[in-house]
Amino acid sequence: MAAAISAARAGASVRLIEANGCLGGIWTAGLVPYIIHAKRESCLMDDIWRRMAEQHDSRLPFFNPEDVKFVLEQMCEEAGVSFQLHTRLAAAAMENGRLRYAVTESKSGRQAWGGKVFIDTTGDGDLGALAGNGYDSAHEGTGLFQPSSLNCLVAGLDSAEIADVVNDRWAMRKELEGAGVAPSYGLLGASLFYVGAGLYFLQATHQYGYRVFDNAREQTRATVKGRAENHRMVCALRGLGGKWRNIVMVATAEQIGNREGRRLHGLATVTRNDLMKGRKQPDPAVSGVTYLMNVHPVKLKGNPAEIRKMLAPVKPYDIPFRALVAKDVASLLMAGRCISGDFFAHGSYRVTGYAVPMGETAGVAAALAARTGHVPHELSWETISDRRREVREGHP
Ligand SMILES: Cc1cc2nc3c(=O)[nH]c(=O)nc-3n(C[C@H](O)[C@H](O)[C@H](O)COP(=O)(O)OP(=O)(O)OC[C@H]3O[C@@H](n4cnc5c(N)ncnc54)[C@H](O)[C@@H]3O)c2cc1C
């Protein structure tokens, strides 16, 4: 969405393909209504949150996912982005090493979409993989993945009565244990956040060991397991009575929250060392990233020795534009959690406060490349950065 709106604002003709029935990915279908590090250099994020505040009285960093669905659709329409929901990428067609068509399947059948430049923002790196770009996934040494999480929204709670558990993951975990259900979120406790309109976001499950990014059977099993656990938790809490007497399940996520997909190979790779050293880059697509290296436990009982340091602070580092440029496929950019990085670095840059400015930069670069007949890696960083500033200033 960020890439599409920015590319359109930069003058490109843009088509956005989305598998779900709404825009927003993890914010909406994934029911993660919480933006980590939202207040970063990003004109688009500012635009989204100004509208969310004006139209829906939202307060950063939390929001009602239903509201953001509506705002994103409005913003895409206003920018002239032609988007098609319920449409899944199924194949890619190449010509002379260059990606030429993205092939999708939907109610309209099989369709091929020609383009001068493509941006993979599938999170899982589906387009890059289909086009034959190299990628890594999982922890290099052990082959283990971070768990997925299926989240839910609940309501029926009295804010004064539950003030002691909201935003306190250990207090919430204790409540659940008291109700007889130890959440699979394990070492991370259990999170209950207020997102507005009487709705609370519950994140208390981990689905360990499922390969959800390229295996529909495992994705289904993880989803069913997560949904059942959420229902069990809500039911058990209601059974406690007292402050939980009226708790109801409002919705479980359509899209299982997948932390680990493909990390597509790019012209540069963000590494753990970059995070630890606070490396600056000559082409900062995003500068000064400070979110910690947050590798969720790969097993219920924690991480093996190789992945032990799951929570480590970072020094402010940059995400280079080259990490958004596919290494093996000309005319392909990427943004969000599928950019080029190692297992540990991904644990930091993957959060949505950085996915949005990555998308903005990729969108501007794609528009420039399409207009000038170049492939993205031929553009100078100065040209991209100047154009991004113009686009940002045109849309304060
Ligand atoms: C459980 C969980 C909790 C998290 N908690 C937070 C949090 O509290 N705050 C925060 O800021 N970050 C959080 N993160 C991290 C962050 O949300 C993700 O890394 C974020 O999803 C990155 O955005 P994205 O756009 O790359 O991917 P996504 O949000 O997953 O978006 C990918 C989009 O591509 C679409 N798509 C995928 N494949 C196809 C296909 N083949 N064809 C068509 N469309 C396709 C999807 O439907 C989706 O709309 C969390 C992540 C998870 C998994």
Mean pLDDT, residues 156-177 taken together: 97
The 191-196 sheet, strands edge to edge: 191-196, 199-203, 152-155, 248-252
pLDDT reading at 108 higher than 50: yes
Alpha-carbon gap, residue 363 to 118, rounded angstroms: 9
How high does pLDDT run on average in the chain? 95
Whether omega for the bond prior to residue 61 falls within 30 degrees of 0, making it cis, is: yes
- Residues with Cβ within 6 A of ligand 1? 17-20, 25-26, 32, 34-36, 88-89, 121-124, 126, 149, 255, 257-259, 336-337, 350-353, 355
Q: Which is the CATH superfamily of the domain at 2-140+261-289+318-394?
A: FAD/NAD(P)-binding domain (3.50.50.60)
pLDDT digits (tens, 9 = 90+) for 285-344: 999 999 999 999 888 887 777 777 667 899 999 999 999 999 999 999 999 999 999 999
Considering only the C-alpha atoms of the chain, give the largest distance between any 2 of them, rounded to a whole number of Å.
67
Overall pTM surpassing 0.85 (yes/no): yes
Q: What is the pLDDT of residue 187?
A: 85
Mean pLDDT, residues 221-247 taken together: 98
Fold of domain 152-252: Alpha-Beta Plaits (3.30.70)
Which of 352, 358, 360, 361 gets mutated to test ligand 1 (max ligand atoms within 8 A of its CB)? 352
Burial zone of 217 (CB within 10 Å; 0-12 exposed, 13-18 middle, 19+ buried): exposed
Residue 140: pLDDT band (50, 70, 90) is: confident
Where along the chain do its domains lie?
Answer: 2-140+261-289+318-394, 152-252
CA of 170 to the centre of ligand 1 (A): 26
Only one residue has tokens 């031929």, namely 378
CA of 96 to the centre of ligand 1 (A): 31
Residue 84: strand pairing partners? 17
pLDDT reading at 395 higher than 70: no
